[in-house]
């Protein structure tokens, strides 16, 4: 058995560390945050109120991921109803769209134009869609794209939908079309649906840790420590040095008190942003790979959590704000995720998400001004009376979303090829580690498969194919490596042939 260092204690890093420890390896996880594990899946705490950073449904088509969650938390995973709505022109629309509701609220004329636009898109689709706008227009029609996708998406990314790669749409709206939404809205639901055929966007319930997603990753970190691994907080990795003569790595970190620590390892798994990892490597990257890493971009965001009297209860988990007159992009209702996140039943807690770039006007705004802005905008949307707001706090999250621009794929490919050639034993996993906008379960899969490759001593699985398209790892139940020509029941994970 060997030793591995994992950079980052998010879902991918902790899952990888857990799988390695289970296989008898020594795993050490370094996490820069001095308090929380879970990365963007952590649970922040303010005066007893707990809130999610971004909203995390615990639902996966992977049986192994579901089993992992159950093993970690058991009965602490509660079943919750899923309700997401879209705010558009002063009204709330169910998402996925309910045809009769949308018809009534949009009006007969607008609805007719939407249907005609959809028919046109299906008859005359855009060939080889390259942008988010192209992809969604093909799926829903140009008119529905403008109404229900354009404004929110451009808030999230701070760029035109024409500049966002179609890859992002294919991953985030897997298999969903207007036809699927209509079918789901009109046909009666069957009991015990085939999970492999479900479109994630259409699910109507999910599991959730009763004290928030951080509860899952705190439990996972505890299990890793019980098995002899280490999860060390307040450690920022500054250098990853490959010692060719020894065939091993030395990872140097700075502690919260400024001291330096080091670990030697056979393998390193990085879930850090590629741009950050590039500056840690010794020997240094060649200039071409360095430029590719530096060209990768990220979108940041912050959450303003408002604590208020619960006079106007909302059933929604979250509401997407398709209104250009306000800056907020999405509103979380944490009480609907789990009532136990709120210590006082007479109160509620809303999380207003503002998408920004680190250092810009929104990011740099003082907390009290942000709380004031959030209160004003929530009242403007008709969701609250400002007099009911009692308190609030702000949580900032840098590098929340890897940006899928025109050049991202080429830049990631250049960087990954350089690692393959010059840095043996260095593996990329997770959302930022691979610059792939993965859901939590897909990030976990990259950690699982990376750990299996390391334990096997060879590349059994091509981790880059996780969530590569709308079909990958969404058609079966278990990850089973298969030989060429061999057919097995269940999921066939990607194998390096």
497 vs 466, higher pLDDT:
466
pLDDT in tens, 22-60: 999 999 999 999 999 999 999 999 999 999 998 899 999
Give the N- to C-terminal CA distance of the chain in Å, as an integer. Answer: 25
Q: SS3 sequence, the chain?
A: CCEEEEECCCHHHHHHHHHHHHCCCEEEEEECCCCCCCHHHCEEEECCEEEECCCCCECCCCHHHHHHHHHHHHHHEEEEECCEEEEECCEEEEECCCHHHHHHHHCHHHHHHHHHHHHHHHHCCCCCCCEHHHHHHHHHCHHHHHHHHHHHHHHHHCCCCCCCEHHHHHHHCCCCCHHHHHHHHHCCCCCCCCHHHCCHHHCCEEEEECCCCHHHHHHHHHHHHHCCCEEEECEEEEEEEEECCCCEEEEEEEECCCCEEEEEECEEEECCCHHHHHCCEECCCCHHHHHHHHHCCEEEEEEEEEEEECCCCCCCCEEEECCCCCCCCEEEEHHHHCHHHCCCCCEEEEEEEEEECCCCHHHHCCHHHHHHHHHHHHHHCCCCCHHHEEEEEEEEEEEEEECCCCCHHHHHHHHHHHHHHHCCCEEECCHHHHCCCCCHHHHHHHHHHHHHHHHHCCCCCCHHHCCCCCCCCCCCCCCCCCCCCCCCCCCCCCCCC
pLDDT in tens, 349-376: 999 999 999 999 999 999 999 999 999 9
Banded model confidence at residue 204, pLDDT cuts 50, 70, 90: confident
Burial class (CB in 10 A: 0-12, 13-18, 19+), 275: buried
- Sequence-distant (6+) residues with CB within 8 A of 150 are 133, 161
CA–CA gap between residue 423 and residue 256 (Å, rounded): 28
Banded model confidence at residue 488, pLDDT cuts 50, 70, 90: very low
pLDDT in tens, 413-443: 999 999 999 999 999 999 999 999 888 999 9
Residue pair 428/419 in contact (Cβ under 8 Å)? The answer is: yes
pTM greater than 0.85 (yes/no): yes
Average pLDDT, the chain: 87
Q: Which domains does the chain have, with CATH numbers?
A: 3-43+62-69+213-295+406-465 (3.50.50.60), 84-202 (no CATH), 298-402 (3.90.660.20)
Over range 197-210, report the average pLDDT: 72
């Amino acid at each position: 058995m060997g030793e591995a260092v994992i950079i980052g204690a998010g879902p991918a890093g902790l899952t990888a560390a857990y799988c390695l420890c289970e296989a008898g390896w020594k795993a050490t996880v370094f996490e820069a945050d001095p308090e929380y594990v879970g990365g963007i899946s952590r649970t922040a705490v303010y005066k007893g109120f707990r809130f999610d950073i971004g909203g995390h449904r615990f639902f996966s088509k992977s049986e192994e991921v579901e089993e992992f969650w159950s093993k970690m938390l058991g009965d602490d995973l509660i079943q919750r109803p899923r309700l997401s709505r879209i705010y558009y022109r002063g009204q709330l629309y169910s998402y996925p769209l309910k045809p009769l509701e949308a018809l009534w609220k949009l009006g007969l004329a607008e609805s007719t134009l939407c249907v005609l636009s959809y028919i046109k898109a299906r008859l005359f689709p855009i060939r080889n869609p390259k942008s988010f706008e192209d992809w969604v227009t093909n799926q829903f029609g140009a008119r529905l794209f403008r109404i229900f996708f354009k404004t929110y998406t451009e808030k999230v990314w701070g760029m035109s939908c024409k500049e966002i790669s179609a890859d992002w749409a294919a991953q985030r709206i897997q298999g969903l079309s207007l036809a699927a939404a209509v079918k789901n809205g009109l046909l009666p639901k069957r009991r015990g649906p085939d999970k492999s055929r479900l479109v994630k966007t259409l699910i109507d319930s999910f599991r959730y840790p009763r004290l928030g997603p951080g509860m899952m990753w705190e439990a996972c970190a505890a299990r890793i420590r019980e098995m002899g691994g280490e999860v060390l907080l307040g450690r920022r990795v500054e250098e990853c040095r490959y010692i060719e003569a020894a065939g091993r790595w030395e990872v140097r970190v700075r502690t919260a008190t400024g001291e330096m620590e080091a670990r030697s390892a056979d393998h390193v798994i990085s879930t850090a942003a590629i741009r950050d990892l590039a500056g840690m490597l010794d020997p240094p990257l060649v200039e071409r790979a360095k430029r590719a890493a530096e060209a990768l971009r990220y979108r940041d965001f912050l959450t303003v959590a408002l604590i208020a009297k619960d006079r106007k209860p909302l059933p929604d988990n979250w509401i997407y704000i398709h209104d250009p007159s306000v800056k907020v992009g999405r509103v979380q209702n944490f009480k609907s995720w789990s009532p136990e996140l709120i210590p006082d039943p007479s109160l509620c807690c809303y999380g207003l998400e503002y998408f920004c770039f680190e250092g810009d006007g929104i990011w740099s705004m003082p907390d009290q001004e942000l709380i004031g802005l959030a209160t004003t905008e929530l009242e403007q949307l008709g969701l609250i009376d400002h007099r009911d707001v009692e308190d609030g706090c702000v949580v900032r999250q840098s590098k929340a979303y890897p940006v899928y621009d025109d050049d991202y794929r080429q830049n990631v490919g250049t960087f990954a090829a350089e690692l393959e050639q010059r840095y043996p034993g260095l593996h990329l996993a997770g959302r930022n580690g691979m610059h792939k906008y993965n859901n939590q379960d897909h990030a976990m899969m990259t950690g699982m498969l990376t750990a299996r490759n390391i334990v096997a001593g060879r590349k059994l699985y091509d981790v880059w194919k996780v969530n590569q398209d709308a079909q990958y790892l969404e058609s079966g139940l278990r990850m089973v490596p298969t030989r060429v020509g061999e057919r097995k029941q269940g999921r066939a994970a990607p194998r390096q042939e």
